[in-house]
Structure 1
Amino acid sequence: MSTAPADARSLRRERRAWYVYDWANSGFVTTTGTVLFAPYLTAVATAAACPDLPAGVDCDATLSVLGVPVAPGSLALYTTSVSTAVSALLLPLVGALSDRVVRKRLLLGAFALVGALAAAAMALVTGTDWQLGVLLQVVAGSCLGASLVVYNALLLDLAGPDERDRVSSRGWAVGYVGGFVLLAANLALVSGHDALGLTEGDAVRLSLLSAGVWWGVFSLVPVLGLRDRPLARPPDAGAPDGAPPAPPRPGAAVRGVLGELAATVRHARGHRVTLLMLLAFLLYNDGVQTVIYAASLFGSAELGLAQSQLITAILLVQAVAVLGALLMGRLAGRFGARRTILASLGAWVVVVGVAYGLPAGRFDLFLLVAVAIGLVLGGTQAISRSLFAQLVPVGREAQYFSLYQAAERGTSWVGTLVVGLVVQATGSYRPAVGALVVFFVLGGLLLWRVDVRRGVAEAGREQPRVV
C-alpha cells in the first residue's frame, strides 16, 4: 500500500502548524510593537522625568540612560534602535546554531517562549518603571528576530521550489489575520475601558499581557506540530549525503558555531546572485517599513486626521493585506516571484506618489491609499521570503536567513533617518514621503539584475518552473 497520500496529509498538517507561528507573533507585533507599547512607554518615561507636569504641558526634562541624557519622547525610538542593533549582532549566531540543531522546532519554541514572557511582563511596567520597559522591549524584540530566523529557514523543509511562493504567502496571510483579530479586540478594550470600570492604563496593560500570552500559547502549535528532520549537508561538506553529523566534542559547541558563522560569511562572497537579491531586498523593504511607520505621522501631522481615523486605517491595512498576500502568491506561481515583486514595487511607487498629493482632511482618500498599501504590503514581503529561499545554499538555510533577518533589521533605520532629515529641512512630511520612491526604484533596479536560475543552480537547489 502506498504511503504517498499519508505523507501528503502529514505535510499539509505540518504546513498548517507552521502558518500558526505567523499568527502567534503577529499578535505581538501589531498590538505591542506597532500600536500600544511605544506611546505607553513614552507616558511612563514622561512621568519619571516630569512627575508634577500638568496635563497638556510639554516635558522639557530628560532621563539619564547610562549617563546619557534622553528626552522621554525619544526613549521608545532609541529602545527600538537598540533592540534592532542587538538582533543584527546576534542573529547570525542564531542561524549558525540552528543549522547544527536537529530539533529546530524546539529552538523556535525556546526563543518564542522567552520573547512571549518578556512581552507579557510588559504589563508590569507601571508608574515610572521605564527601565523595566526598555529591558523587556529589547529582550522581546531580540527573541522575535531570533525565532524568525528559525521559522523562515523551516520553509525550505515544508515546500518544494514551485510551492514556496504559495506557502510563504499563506503564512503571511494567516499572520495578518491574527494581528487583525487581536489588535481589534485590544483597541475595543482600550476604547471602552470606562464601561468596563478600567483606567486607560489598565486597559493598555491588559492588552500588552494578552499579546504576550497570545504569542506564547499559539507558538505551541508549531512546536508540537512540526517534525524533526535530519540535518541537510552542503555539497562541499566532505561527507556523503544523508550521513549523520559527527557528535560535537565536549566544549567545542561554541567554537563550532562561531566557526560556521565565519565560514558562512566567506561562503556568501561566492554566491553573488544571492547577495544581490539580499541587497535589493534591503533597499525596497526599508522603503516598505518606512511607509508603514510614517503613515500615521503623515496622516496626523500633514492631513490633520484624528487618532480614531488612523486606527481605522491600520486595521484596514491588516485586513486587506490578507487578500494581497494570497493574490500575490497566486501571481508569483503563474508569472514568477521576481516579476511579481517588480510589479509590486511599481505599485509602491504609485502609492507613494498618490499619498504625496493627498489633500488635507480627506479621510476617504487616505483609506483608499490604505487599501492599496494592504494589497501590496503582505505580498511584497511574502514573495521576497520565498524568492530568497530559492537562492539559499543547501545545508546553510538558517545561516543565510540569519543574514537576511539581521541585515533587514540592521539597516531598517535608513528610511526613517531620511524622513527625519527631510522633515527637519523642509518642515513638511510630503517631500519626506515622496523621497521614499528612491528606495523602491533602486531596489527594483537591483532586483532586475538578479539572475534567479543562475542563483538557484549555484545554491544547489532544484529549479522552479517559473522565476
Structure 2
Amino acid sequence: MSVPAPPAASDPAAESPAARRREQRGWYVYDWANSAFYTTIISVFLGPYIIEVAKAAACAKDFAQAGASCAADFDRLTAENPGLGYVDVYGMDIRPAAFFGLITTVAVLLQIVILPMVGALADHTGRKREMLGVYAYAGALAAMGLFFVEGDRYLLGGWLFIIANLGYGASIVVYDSFLPQISTPDERDRVSSQGWAIGYLGGGLLLALNLALFLSHESLGLTEGQAVRIAMMSAGLWWATFTIVPLLRLRNRPAPAHAHTAAKAVGGSFRQLGRTLRELRRYPLTLLFLVAYLVYNDGIQTVIGNSAAFASEALKLDRTVQITAILMVQFVAFFGALLLGRLAVRFGTKRTVLASIVVWTVIVLMALFVGEGQALQFYLMAFAIAIVLGGTQALSRSLFSQVIPKGKEAEYFSLLQISDKGSAFIGSLTVTIALQLTNSFRIAIMSMVIFFVLGFVLLALVNLPKAIRAAGNEVPANI
C-alpha cells in the first residue's frame, strides 16, 4: 500500500515567521525532553552505579564477599590479588572500572552501523515525525528499565544502556534533520543555540529534583542504590512525557522519493545511503568538516561521559559533589550556549568554535593536576566546561547544517550523530584501553588532548564559505 509523505512546504523561507516559530518552539522541547537521559543517566548516575554493580559481581565471584565492605576494599583486594577482580563479559575478563567504557564503546559502534540507515530511511520516506516518536519511546522505555538493575545484574544494565543510547542517537538524527527545515540560514545559529540551551534547563531541572531525592534518601526510607535507580527511571519517564510536544508541533516535509512499502523503503534507504557516501566525494570540504567534528567531538563526549566516573575513581569525591557539579554545569551551560551564540554573531561562528576547542584542551590538561579529594578544583573545572559545552556543539550543528545539500538532511545528520551526544566510539575505546592498561582515570582523560588538537587543525583548514556554496546553499552573514 502506498504511504505518501504528507504535503508541506520544504523551503523555510517560504513559510510565515509565525509558522516557523511554532515549529521551532516545539523543536526546542525535544532537547528539554532527551537531555534528562544525558544528564541524569550518562553524566551522573549510571557510570559510578554500574561500576559498583560490576564490583559487587566481581566480589561475589573472586573474593566470596558481598556488600559495601567488599566494594570499599576492592582496590586493596585487587592490588593484593592482581589476577582477580574481573567480571565476565561473554568470555572476556573486564575490570569493573572499564565496564562502563566498554558498553559505551559497544553502543557507539552500533550507532556507527545503524544511524546512517536511520537517516537514509527518514529522508527516503519523509516520515520524520513518526520515526522521532518510535526511537524516542524505545530509548525512554529502556532508560526506565534501568530501575531493575541491582545486585550483580551488570549485564542487564549494559544491554539496557545500549538500547537506550541507540534510541537516543537515532532520535537525535531525525531531530537534528528538522533544523534546516524549520529555520532560514541566518536563523540557524540562534535556533540551534536556543535549543541546546533549553535542553540544559530541562536536564538541569530534573537533575536538581534527583539530587534532592539522592540527598534525602535515608529520610525517605530508601537505600542509596534505590535512590539512584529511581533517578534513572525518572529520566526515562521525563523523556517520554515531554516528547509529546514536538510530536504535536513538528510537521513532515515531502520526501524526494515515495516509499511504497516498508521493505522497499528500507531497501531504498540502503541504496540512498550508498549514494550519499559516494556523493561526499563531490563535497570534500563537507567531508573535511565532518571529520574535524568527529575528532574534537569525540573528545568532548568522552570527557562528559566519564566525568562522574573520573570524579569518583580518580578524585575520590562522593556522589553529592559529582551531582552538584554536574547540576551547576547544566545551568551555567544554558548561559554559556547563549553567550557563544552571541560571540558567533560578533566574531564569526568558525572562530568561536575554534576558540572553544582551545578552552577544552586547557580543561583536559587541568584534569591531570586536580588533587584527590579537592572538590573546589573539580567545581572550577566543571564551571569551565559549562561555559563552552553547549556552544561548541550547538554552533557545530549549525555550521554542519549549512554545508549539506537540501533533501539529504537526515542522512547527513546521521553521519554527524555518529560522534554526537551519546559518547564517541574512538574516544570511549581510548579510555577503555587506557584504563585496562593503567587503571588510571587521569591518564585516560589526559589522552583526549590529541583529539582536541587534531580537531582544531582540521577545522581550521575548512573553507566554510566555499563549502556552503558547493552544497548549493546561501552563505549567511556571520560564518
TM-score class, shorter: 0.7 to 0.9
Deviation at 1:132, TM superposition (A): 2.9
SS of the aligned residue for 2:418 comes to helix
Tell me which moved more, 412-421 or 443-452.
Answer: 412-421
Letter in 1 for 2:216: G
Letter in 2 for 1:400: Y
Q: Separation in 2 of the partners of 1:332 and 1:275?
A: 22
Q: CA 1:31/1:73 → structure 2, altered by over 3 Å: closer, same or farther?
A: same
Tell me which moved more, 38-47 or 186-195.
Answer: 38-47
Provide Cα deviations, 1:420-446, integer angstroms capped at 9, x if missing partner. 666788886656545433322221111
Letter in 2 for 1:28: F
Q: Does 1:31 align with 2:4?
A: no
Q: 1:9 aligns with which of 8, 18, 21?
A: 18
Q: Separation in 1 of the partners of 2:461 and 2:14?
A: 40
Tell me which moved more, 318-327 or 101-110.
Answer: 101-110
Q: Separation in 2 of the partners of 1:5 and 1:161?
A: 13
Q: Which runs of 5+ in 2 are unaligned?
A: 1-12, 79-83
Matched residue, 1:254: 266
Q: 1:154 aligns with which of 178, 194, 203?
A: 178
Q: 1:107 aligns with which of 117, 126, 131?
A: 131
TM-score, normalization by structure 2: 0.86
Counterparts of 1:366-445 in structure 2, within 5 Å, are: 366-408=378-420, 412-418=424-430, 433-445=445-457
Letter in 2 for 1:179: G
Q: Separation in 2 of the partners of 1:307 and 1:114?
A: 29
* Greater relative contact order (CA < 8 Å, ≥ 6 in sequence): 2
Matched residue, 1:291: 303
Q: Does 1:21 align with 2:45?
A: no
Q: Separation in 1 of the partners of 2:295 and 2:57?
A: 38
Q: Separation in 1 of the partners of 2:55 and 2:404?
A: 46
| Contact 2:47–2:309, Cα closer than 8 Å, also in 1 | no
Matched residue, 2:354: 342
Q: CA 1:300/1:37 → structure 2, altered by over 3 Å: closer, same or farther?
A: closer
Counterparts of 1:24-423 in structure 2, within 5 Å, are: 24-51=33-60, 52-54=64-66, 55-57=68-70, 58=74, 60=84, 62-231=86-255, 233=256, 245-246=257-258, 248=260, 251-296=263-308, 298-300=310-312, 303=315, 305-358=317-370, 362-408=374-420, 412-418=424-430
Letter in 2 for 1:265: L
Deviation at 1:121, TM superposition (A): 1.8
Q: Separation in 2 of the partners of 1:402 and 1:161?
A: 20
Tell me which moved more, 68-77 or 26-35.
Answer: 68-77
Provide Cα deviations, 1:298-336, integer angstroms capped at 9, x if missing partner. 545555544432332222222111111011112222332
Deviation at 1:276, TM superposition (A): 0.6
Deviation at 1:220, TM superposition (A): 0.8
Matched residue, 1:453: 465
Q: In angstroms, what is the RMSD of aligned CA positions?
A: 2.8
Provide Cα deviations, 1:261-295, integer angstroms capped at 9, x if missing partner. 11111111211111110111122112222333454
| Contact 1:85–1:410, Cα closer than 8 Å, also in 2 | no
Q: Separation in 1 of the partners of 2:372 and 2:97?
A: 26
Q: CA 1:127/1:246 → structure 2, altered by over 3 Å: closer, same or farther?
A: closer
Q: Separation in 1 of the partners of 2:155 and 2:309?
A: 26
| Contact 1:274–1:391, Cα closer than 8 Å, also in 2 | yes
Q: Separation in 1 of the partners of 2:371 and 2:325?
A: 16
TM-score, normalization by structure 1: 0.88
Letter in 2 for 1:56: S
Provide Cα deviations, 1:177-226, integer angstroms capped at 9, x if missing partner. 11111112112212211111222232222212211110111111100111
| Contact 2:101–2:429, Cα closer than 8 Å, also in 1 | no
Tell me which moved more, 295-304 or 153-162.
Answer: 295-304
Q: Separation in 1 of the partners of 2:463 and 2:359?
A: 22
Q: Matched residue pairs, number? A: 452
| Contact 1:282–1:411, Cα closer than 8 Å, also in 2 | no
Q: Separation in 2 of the partners of 1:257 and 1:306?
A: 47
Q: Separation in 2 of the partners of 1:379 and 1:302?
A: 28
Q: Separation in 1 of the partners of 2:467 and 2:105?
A: 33
Deviation at 1:130, TM superposition (A): 3.5
Q: CA 1:246/1:362 → structure 2, altered by over 3 Å: closer, same or farther?
A: closer
Deviation at 1:41, TM superposition (A): 3.1
Q: Separation in 2 of the partners of 1:144 and 1:176?
A: 16
Q: Which runs of 5+ in 1 are unaligned?
A: 234-244
Q: CA 1:102/1:79 → structure 2, altered by over 3 Å: closer, same or farther?
A: same
Q: Separation in 2 of the partners of 1:66 and 1:427?
A: 21
| Contact 1:162–1:333, Cα closer than 8 Å, also in 2 | no
SS of the aligned residue for 2:260 comes to coil
| Contact 1:29–1:179, Cα closer than 8 Å, also in 2 | yes
